[in-house]
Structure 1
C-alpha cells in the first residue's frame, strides 16, 4: 500500500526507539524470572499429558501435580526440569506421567541435583523437550503444505468469525457453516473465566459459559474439522484461540502441538482487563511468543479493548503506544512482522462529528506504521445500542473502513452485539454485509487519497505526536509505573498486586530450562 499520510520518518524512528527503551527494563525482569506456567509449559513440551481424575476437588492435570510438588520440596528457582528428570532416573520410571502418578501417591521426594546428576537430568530434559518442539516444527511445515494444497483466501482482508457455544461439537458445526459461508478464520471463544484458572482442563468439553474451554483435545477436534472443510471449500481455514491468562505459556504450547494458526496474545491485556500480576504476565508472554515464533502462529494483540473503557478519540494515542510496545516485545521474543497481528478498533461514538474520518485516520496510521504486519481490525461494540438496523449500518461503515485502509484481518461485526449471543442467522447476515462491501469496494483503495494536509492526515500526525510524548513520559517514569497509573484503558494495576503473583519465581544462578534454550537458539536437539 502506498503511503498516504506523509509521516515524518524521524518521528516514526523516535517512536520505535522510545518504545524499545520503555520495554527494556521489563524484558530484563522477564528474563530474570520464571513462573509456574512457564515450567508447566516446559513439561508439556517434554510430553506430560493427562490428569489425576481421583482428586476429591476435581481433576488435577498431572503437570500441575508435578510442578506444585517440586516447588513445595525444593523450589522452582532452578526450574522444574532438573528435579523432575533426576527423579525420573532415580526411580527408574518410564515417563513423566508415571512420575506424576508416583508423585500423587507420595512416593517422590524432589531435590535439585548437582554435578553429574544435574548434567544427566538436563540432558534428558533437553532430549524430551526437543522431541516436543520437533512436533511443533512438523506442524508448521504441514500448515505450509496445506496452504499450498488448498490455497489461501483470494483476497484481503481475511474474514474472521467467532464461535462461542460452550460445546466443542456445536462449535465445529457452526465453524464449518461459517467457513462455507465465506469465513477464512474461525476463532473459538474461551469459556468465561478460564483466563483466571491456573490450570488447563483436560479432554473435550461440552459445558463452557459464553465460550468453550481451551484444551488440547478441543484444539485437535477443531483443527481436524477445519482441515476437512478446507478441502471442501478449496482454501485453508485458519483456527484461532487464546494464549492469555494464567496459563498463557501452556496454551501457546498446546496450540503449537495441535497446529493452531493464530492466537490472541497481548503483552498487557491480562494485566489491565483480568487483573493478572504484571510481572507474571510479562514473563509468561515472552515465553509464549517464543513458542508462537517457533510454531509460525500469528498473534493477535488486544489494543481494541482499551477503547471499550477509554474514549476512542481521547485515548487513540494509547493504542498506538501499545502497538509499538507489542511490536518491540514481539521482535525481542523472535516474532517477525508477518506474525504480528496488531489490534485496533472502530470504536468512536458515531455521534461524534466526522467520526468516520477519524476512524480512517486512526486505521491508516496503524497501517502505515506497521506495513508488513497482518493488522486485526475490530468492529464496533461499545456503541452498539441494540438497534439492529443501526448496528448493521455501523458494521457496514466498519467494513468499508477496513477495505479503504488495507486492513489484513477483519473481525465480522454482529448487529446483535451486546444484546444476545448471535444466532446462526445473525452470522449469515453479518457475512453478507462483509461480502457485499468487500466485493463492491474491492479496488476502491487505489482511488482513496486523503488530501495532503487535510483532516485525516492532520489527525494521524496528531495521534502519532501524542504517542511519542506519552512514550517519552513512560521512558522517564517506567512502564510498570505507567500501567499502575492507569495510562492504558484507565485500569490501574500495581506491579506487586494482581492474580498469579505468587506464581512468579526469581531464577537462581543454576536455573536450567531446555525449552527456553532451544527456543532462543532455534536448534532442534
Structure 2
C-alpha cells in the first residue's frame, strides 16, 4: 500500500471498517435467512430456462408462479420443479413451464429418496449454468491476452443507450474507436420496477435500452469485433439492480459482461424497492458477479443528487465502506470493487475544487486496491454547454490528480438532451486531453499536511465513524437490524424507506428448514 498523502490514522481507518462490519453483519444474516422470487427465477435461468409465452411473460415467471401457488416459496423452487421432471411430468424445463402455465401439472414437496433424486437432478442442471459462467470468464481472460487491455488507467467509461439495441451497437463501436474503454448500456427508465426480464432484442426504450439476454449477446458480440479491430479488449457494462437483480446478474455472467451496476442500497432509496428484498437479491447477485469475474459499480454518486455534496459527504464514505463489506462477504475481490463517488459540489461554493479533491483522494486512500468509479457533475449542470464543458474538464483533472480507476465521461449537454454522437466526441476529446496532459499528476500531487484538502478528508472520515457508530448502537423498537432503521430514518440520500414498505416485499420468503437451492450451494462452495 502506497504511503498516505492524507496522513490518515491507520487505527481510525480500521475502526471505520470494524463499524461497517458490525452494521453489515445483521443484514447478511437477514439475507441468508430469506429467499426471493427473483433468486429462485435466477436459479431456473442458470439451469437453461429461457423464452417467453405469446404474451411476453417469461417462462421462468410462469413456472415460479405455479410452483409457489402449490407449495410456497420458502422451500425453494428447485426440489418441486425437478421432482416433477424426475417423476415424468415433463421432459425438460420449457415443457414443464408450458404445462404449469396451462394448469395441467401440480407440484409437491417430495420426501426421502424422491427428494434426493430431485435435488441431484437440480444440482446437475444448475451446475451446467455455473460451468458456463466459468467458461465465459476464462474466455474473457483469453481475449484480453490476445487483444491486449486498455493502455492506461483510468478506464474511460462512456454511456450509450438510444432505446434501440440496433442503434446502440454502431454508436458503441464508434465510441470505442474514439477512445472509450468501457461501454455502458443504461436501462430503459422503469425497468428496475418490472418483476420480469423482457425477452429478445428490443427496439424501444425511454432514456435507455432494455436489459435482456439477447441485447447482452448482441452488444458483447459487437464489442468483441471492436476489440479485434482496435487491438484492446473493450468492456461492456449494464445494470443488475431492481426487482430482477439476481436474474440480470445471471444473464450477465452467461453472456460475458464485464461490469455491472450493483449497489446495495440504490434500489431501496431511489426506486422504493423493499429493503429486505434488495439485500437478499444483492447478496445472490454479487455471488454470481464474484464467480463471473465481473466488476461491480456502486451508486454512492446518487446520494449527492438529492443531498448536499458537502454536508452529506460522510454518507458517501459510509456507504462505500458498507458496500465493500457486503461485496467481500459475497466473495468479490478488491479488483472487482468499482466503488462510486462523484464530482457534485455546487461550483458556487468557495474552494469547491479543493473540496472535490479532498473527497476523491479520501476514497482513493481508503480503498487503494479498488478501481474506484468517479462520476461527473450532473446536479449543477445548467444547460450552459460552455460552463458544463469546463466543469467536466475540472472533473477529469481531479480524476487524474487522485488516481481514479474508472472515469465516467461527462457530457456538456447533461440535463439538456440525450447526447448526440458529436457531443460524445467532444466529451471524449476533453478526457483525452486532460489524461494526455496530466495523466501522471497523481504521482506528484501531495496536499499540504495541514491544508484544506487533508483537513477536510480527515473531517469526513471522522464524521463517517460517528455515523457508523450511531447506526451500530441504535436500538430499534421493532427489532430490525440497525442499518434498516437508519435507512428508514432517511440517513442516506434523504430518502426514508421502512423495512416493511416498498415494492417487492410480497416476493420475499423466510427459508424453511428444508430450503434447497443448488445455485446458492454451488456459489458458496466456489469461494
Give the corresponding residue for 1:201: 198
How do residues 370-519 of structure 1 correspond to structure 2 at under 5 angstroms?
370-477=367-474, 478-519=482-523
1:445 deviates by 1.6
Q: Is the 8 A contact 2:89 2:96 kept in 1?
A: no
| Partner-residue secondary structure (3-state), 1:289 | helix
| Partner-residue secondary structure (3-state), 1:240 | strand
1:46 deviates by 0.8
How do residues 337-352 of structure 1 correspond to structure 2 at under 5 angstroms?
337-352=334-349
TM-score using structure 2 length: 0.98
| Partner-residue secondary structure (3-state), 2:415 | coil
- Of 105, 109, 112, the residue aligned with 2:106 is 109
1:443 deviates by 2.0
| Partner-residue secondary structure (3-state), 2:104 | coil
Give the corresponding residue for 1:244: 241
How do residues 62-461 of structure 1 correspond to structure 2 at under 5 angstroms?
62-461=59-458
Q: Is the 8 A contact 2:259 2:294 kept in 1?
A: yes
Q: Is the 8 A contact 2:307 2:494 kept in 1?
A: yes
Give the corresponding residue for 2:53: 52
Q: How many residues align?
A: 519
Q: Is the counterpart of residue 11 in structure 1 residue 12 in structure 2?
A: yes
Give the corresponding residue for 1:42: 43
Structure 2 residue runs of 5 or longer lacking an equivalent are 475-481
Q: Is the 8 A contact 2:216 2:257 kept in 1?
A: yes
Deviations 1:439-487 (A, max 9, x none): 0002222221101111100000000000000000000121000000000
Deviates more, 1:445-454 or 1:118-127: 445-454
| Partner-residue secondary structure (3-state), 1:5 | coil
CA distance in 1, matches of 2:184, 2:518: 31
| Partner-residue secondary structure (3-state), 1:60 | coil
Deviations 1:221-256 (A, max 9, x none): 000000000000110000000000000000000000
CA distance in 1, matches of 2:250, 2:348: 44
| Partner-residue secondary structure (3-state), 1:52 | coil
Q: Is the 8 A contact 2:324 2:337 kept in 1?
A: yes
CA distance in 1, matches of 2:69, 2:89: 22
CA distance in 1, matches of 2:27, 2:422: 46
Give the corresponding residue for 1:33: 34
Give the corresponding residue for 1:20: 21
CA distance in 2, matches of 1:112, 1:188: 41
1:106 deviates by 1.3
Runs of 4+ in 1 over 3 A off after TM superposition: none
Deviates more, 1:210-219 or 1:107-116: 107-116
CA distance in 1, matches of 2:128, 2:420: 43
1:2 deviates by 4.1
TM-score using structure 1 length: 0.98
Deviations 1:345-397 (A, max 9, x none): 00000000000000000000000000001100000000000000000000000
CA distance in 2, matches of 1:78, 1:115: 15
CA distance in 2, matches of 1:3, 1:143: 34
> Alpha carbon RMSD of aligned pairs, Å?
0.7
Deviations 1:117-155 (A, max 9, x none): 111111000000100000000000000010111111111
1:193 deviates by 0.2
1:93 deviates by 2.1
CA distance in 2, matches of 1:234, 1:3: 36
Q: Is the 8 A contact 2:177 2:230 kept in 1?
A: yes
1:166 deviates by 0.2
CA distance in 1, matches of 2:465, 2:101: 53
| Partner-residue secondary structure (3-state), 1:307 | helix
Deviations 1:249-270 (A, max 9, x none): 0000000000000000000000
